[in-house]
């Protein structure tokens, strides 16, 4: 039923195709890639597109296409675990806050408000400054700056659902709190959560690339698109293609998740009527 609706929505289909392509790129990178992503050969720098290097080489003579394919791996390998952690923390705390209410909820809300008062960039700057550059530190700082949003959003979904009559009715039918939360509320807010997660993953990917571009995330030696942009920016005039290719890749990746998420939101809101 839902699958049929997704298939009938062109926006969702485009988004889904893009997402599938990105996953395929990440999984099949070693097979698809013509070269080693980290093989440096200074003599072959800034080569034009050829059969050996389909998109040319960069300032260190590395194959651009190969690095872009591995870049998909890099984005997803960081973004997916981040999302999983954020989703579980957000779901657990959000549900607890909304369900228990009272003092626990008030303290949780205050903590969330404090965290929300800091812009994410400042948090990441401070953390990376303290912990140093690197993938793990990037993950920690993104989680640190984003978890409150997940808690807040899921808490509001649960609150909305909790006030509905069927929750009271299941209480009368003898359900325990855990049963009501897991058996009734979670399945009913799940579609909304998927929409939120789908649009969040694109902002996480954008954050990873963005911080790497600013030199806060992964180093320039890794095949990460933001880092590629960073090292390519000095050659903007002589070799603009080095900036254009990773830019397009980032755009398509985030667009895929965003399109899919937004389309899902439309589909679910139609279902409500």
Partner 1 sequence: MLEVRHITKQYTVKNQRKGENVFTSVDDISLKLKPDSSYALIGESGSGKSTLAMMMAAVLPPTHGEILMDGKDIWKLTPKERRRLRGDLQLVLQNSKGALDPRKTVYQSIEEPLKNLCQLSREEQQRTIYEIVEKVQLEKSLLTRKPNELSGGQQSRVCIARAMCLSPKFVIFDESVSGLDVTVQKKVLDLLLELRKEFHGTYLFITHDIDVALYMSDHIFVMKEGHLLDEVQNALSYDAFQHPYSRELIASLPPKSPHYRL
Taking residues 186 to 205 in sequence order and writing x for each that binds partner 1 by CB under 8 A, - otherwise, the string is: -xx-----------------
Q: Which residue(s) pair with 63 in the sheet?
A: 57
Q: Which of 50, 88, 176, 269 binds partner 1 (CB under 8 A)?
A: 176
Residue 225 binds partner 1 (CB under 8 A): no
Smallest distance, partner 1 to C-beta of residue 90, A: 21
Give yes or no for residue 165 binding partner 1 (CB under 8 A).
Answer: yes
Q: Judged by CB under 8 A, how many residues of this single chain contact partner 1?
A: 16
Q: Is 3 in the site for partner 1 (CB under 8 A)?
A: no
Note whether 174 binds partner 1 by CB under 8 A.
yes
Q: In terms of CB distance, is 31 or 172 closer to partner 1?
A: 172
Answer yes or no whether residue 125 interacts with partner 1 by CB under 8 A: no
Q: How far is the CB of 187 from partner 1 (least distance, A)?
A: 5
Question: Considering the rule CB under 8 A, would residue 171 count as an interface residue with partner 1?
Answer: yes
Interface residues with partner 1 (CB under 8 A) are 164-166, 168-176, 179, 184, 187-188
């Amino acid at each position: 039923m839902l699958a049929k609706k997704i298939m009938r929505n062109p926006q969702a289909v485009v988004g889904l195709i893009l997402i599938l392509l990105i996953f395929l790129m990440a999984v099949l990178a070693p097979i698809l890639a013509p070269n080693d992503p980290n093989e440096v050969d200074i003599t072959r720098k800034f080569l034009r597109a050829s059969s050996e290097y389909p998109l040319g080489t960069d300032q260190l003579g590395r194959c651009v296409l190969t690095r872009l394919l591995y870049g998909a791996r890099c984005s997803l390998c960081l973004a997916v675990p981040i999302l999983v952690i954020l989703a579980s923390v957000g779901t657990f705390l959000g549900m607890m806050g909304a369900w228990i209410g009272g003092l626990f909820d008030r303290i949780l809300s205050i903590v969330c408000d404090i965290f929300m008062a800091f812009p994410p960039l400042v948090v990441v700057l401070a953390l990376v400054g303290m912990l140093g550059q690197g993938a793990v530190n990037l993950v920690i700082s993104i989680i640190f700056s984003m978890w409150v949003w997940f808690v807040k959003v899921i808490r509001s979904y649960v609150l909305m659902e909790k006030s509905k009559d069927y929750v009271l009715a299941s209480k009368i039918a003898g359900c325990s709190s855990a049963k009501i939360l897991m058996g009734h509320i979670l399945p009913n807010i799940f579609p909304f959560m998927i929409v939120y997660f789908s649009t969040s993953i694109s902002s996480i990917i954008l954050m990873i690339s963005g911080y790497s571009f600013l030199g806060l995330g992964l180093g320039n030696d890794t095949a990460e698109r933001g880092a590629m942009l960073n090292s390519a920016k000095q050659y903007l005039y002589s070799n603009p293609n080095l900036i254009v290719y990773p830019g397009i890749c980032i755009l398509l990746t985030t667009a895929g998740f965003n399109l899919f998420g937004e389309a899902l939101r439309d589909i679910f809101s139609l279902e409500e009527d």
